Amino acid sequence: MSGKRSNGEGSIYPRKQGGFAAYVWVTKPDGTRDRKYVYGKTRAEVHEKWLKLHSAAKAGPVATSAPTLGGYLDYWLREVVNPNLKPKTAETYEMHVRLYIAPGLGSKRLDKLTVRDVREWTNKLLEGCQCCIQGKDAARPVNHRDPKRRRRCCAIGRCCDQRLSQRTVRDARNTLRSALTNAMAEELITKNLAALVKLRAPRRVPRRPWSVEEAKTFLESARRDGDPLYPAYVLILVLGLRRGEVLGLGWDSVDLDTELLTVEAQLQRIRRQLVHDETKTDASTAVLPLPDICTAALRLRRQVQASAKQAAGVLWSELGFVFTTRTGSPVEPRNFNRSFKRRCELAGVRVIRLHDTRHTCGSLLAALDVHPRIAMQILRHSKIAVTMEIYTHVPSEATRRALKKLGQHITAEAPEQPE
């Protein structure tokens, strides 16, 4: 075939190394003009690409160079995610990029990524052993005095088959989709290919929160043994507070005279640092009325903390938190989880996830005869119907009497603190 251009083909020409090339003058996202090239083995192939590029140039700005997906994700996390999203959300995005997206797709050019690439990547995430892929077992020492910390599976030929759940794979795909949405907004790509890959919706794992009887047994055990975190357990079970909200609670947010508690902050460990930040959502911030059992527990906590402060002396850190260590420093979130699990075992009740205590909260409020409208405010429900659905599970009269007796017992034993 002759190297002469046909009518309408524009700047198509043969290359010295074989094949053909063409270019179109385009306006870049920064407003400057430059050439953008397309290549192919045949003139017809290049002509088709040239027509698409010509149409794109007429439609708007066109990038003349594209980074790798890994390079773009680094930029996206640094300039878009970290400055604009909550620290915990940013940490989650960074984790998905580091562990799952960058290793599988990071070397792909952003503008060359295909639906097939994304689909094959998600399939590999579902099928592959993450211990093998990430080298978790290979990073462990061959010999260690603690057998649990030695190499024991993939690095010695015994694959542990550590597969990701469908929910984790879906979250990783959603992170990629968010990044590509931003790339579209910056006019680096024209389609969000991650949005075109459909994944099966993960099935909800059925949760079995405590019954009111189990919650009562748990609280009685913590109270009887003088557990320093007993008041925190009361707030979690009776007010439905999240772990971060309890640990981030300050005395300036507690008014025992008017029996009101303001939920406005949370404490989380993010990127190896404790972060005291605002609550998860706007709806999470609220002023809650304190039932008698909560007021009594908080008075008890103030008394215990005053004794700890006196014992610590100059070692005490005055940070204003309600729940602290013996020296006034914040309670580590993971240590709180461990303490909760240990208390479950000591109380002889089922060990459940700490977050599942929120599901028990409504039943406890009903047992304490808290009015549904107040319970709706405490649980931070948007509709009274949701609260009333919980209230239909009315506890037994014996349970009601036991919980009220527990609350009265605590109130009687917690002395008033001098101002």
Which long-range contacts does 341-344 make (Cβ < 8 Å, 24+ apart)?
A: 343/218, 343/221, 343/222, 343/227, 343/229, 343/233, 344/218
Q: What is the pairing mode between strands 260-263 and 254-255?
A: antiparallel
**Share of residues in the chain with pLDDT > 70 (%):** 83
* Cross-sheet strand order for the sheet of 20-27: 11-14, 20-27, 33-40
Looking at per-residue pLDDT, the higher value among 388 and 94 belongs to 94
Rounded to 5°, angle at Cα 187 from 104 and 49: 80
Average pLDDT over residues 34-58: 85
How sure is the predictor about 96, in pLDDT bands with cuts at 50, 70 and 90?
very high
96 contacts 106 by C-beta, under 8 angstroms: no
The reply to whether 123 and 168 lie within a common domain is: yes
Residue 136 lies in a domain: no
The reply to whether 190 and 303 lie within a common domain is: no
Residue 6 lies in a domain: no
pLDDT one-digit tens code per residue, 7-36 = 444 578 888 888 888 888 888 766 788 888
The reply to whether 237 and 340 lie within a common domain is: yes
Q: For residue 122, what is the domain's CATH number?
A: 1.10.150.130
Residue 389 lies in a domain: yes
The reply to whether 74 and 54 lie within a common domain is: no
Average pLDDT over residues 319-346: 94
In whole angstroms, what is the distance from residue 127 CA to residue 42 CA? 39
Q: What is the pairing mode between strands 273-278 and 254-255?
A: unpaired
Residue 216 lies in a domain: yes
254 contacts 239 by C-beta, under 8 angstroms: no
Residue 407 scores a pLDDT above 60: no
Instruction: Using only the alpha carbons of the chain, give its radius of gyration.
Output: 30
pLDDT at 30: 67
What average pLDDT does the structure give for the chain? 83
pLDDT at 399: 52
Residue 242 scores a pLDDT above 70: yes
263 contacts 285 by C-beta, under 8 angstroms: yes
- How many structural domains does the chain have? 3
The reply to whether 230 and 304 lie within a common domain is: yes
Q: For residue 224, what is the domain's CATH number?
A: 1.10.443.10
Average pLDDT over residues 70-97: 93
The reply to whether 189 and 220 lie within a common domain is: no
Average pLDDT over residues 108-122: 92
Q: Which residues pair with 25 in a beta bridge?
A: 35
> Closest by alpha carbon to 215, among 344, 34, 391?
344
Average pLDDT over residues 142-148: 86
Q: Compute how many other C-beta atoms are within 10 angstroms of the C-beta atom of residue 278.
A: 13
0.85 exceeded by pTM: no
Provide CB contacts within 8 A for 324, sequence distance 6+: 305, 308, 317, 330, 331
Q: Please give the C-alpha separations between residue 266 and each of 30, 227, 278, in angstroms, as whole numbers.
A: 41, 22, 6
pLDDT at 416: 46
Residue 383 lies in a domain: yes
Q: What is the DSSP string of 321-343?
A: BSSB-TTSPBPPHHHHHHHHHHH
178 contacts 93 by C-beta, under 8 angstroms: yes
230 contacts 322 by C-beta, under 8 angstroms: no
Q: Compute how many other C-beta atoms are within 10 angstroms of the C-beta atom of residue 247.
A: 26
Domain end among 154, 172, 196: 196
pLDDT at 326: 92
The reply to whether 222 and 192 lie within a common domain is: no
Q: Please give the C-alpha separations between residue 12 and each of 2, 9, 25, 36, in angstroms, as whole numbers.
A: 12, 6, 13, 12
pLDDT at 52: 84
Residue 265 lies in a domain: yes
Give the DSSP letter of residue 274: E
The reply to whether 368 and 229 lie within a common domain is: yes
The reply to whether 181 and 260 lie within a common domain is: no
The reply to whether 187 and 290 lie within a common domain is: no
Residue 206 lies in a domain: no
pLDDT at 7: 46
Residue 137 lies in a domain: no
Residue 152 scores a pLDDT above 60: yes
357-367 helix and 212-224 helix, angle to the nearest 10 degrees = 90
Residue 381 scores a pLDDT above 80: no
The domain in which residue 375 lies consists of 212-413
How sure is the predictor about 115, in pLDDT bands with cuts at 50, 70 and 90?
very high
pLDDT one-digit tens code per residue, 177-211 = 999 999 988 878 888 999 999 998 877 777 788 88
The reply to whether 178 and 274 lie within a common domain is: no
How sure is the predictor about 70, in pLDDT bands with cuts at 50, 70 and 90?
very high
pLDDT at 58: 83
The reply to whether 37 and 17 lie within a common domain is: yes
How sure is the predictor about 382, in pLDDT bands with cuts at 50, 70 and 90?
low
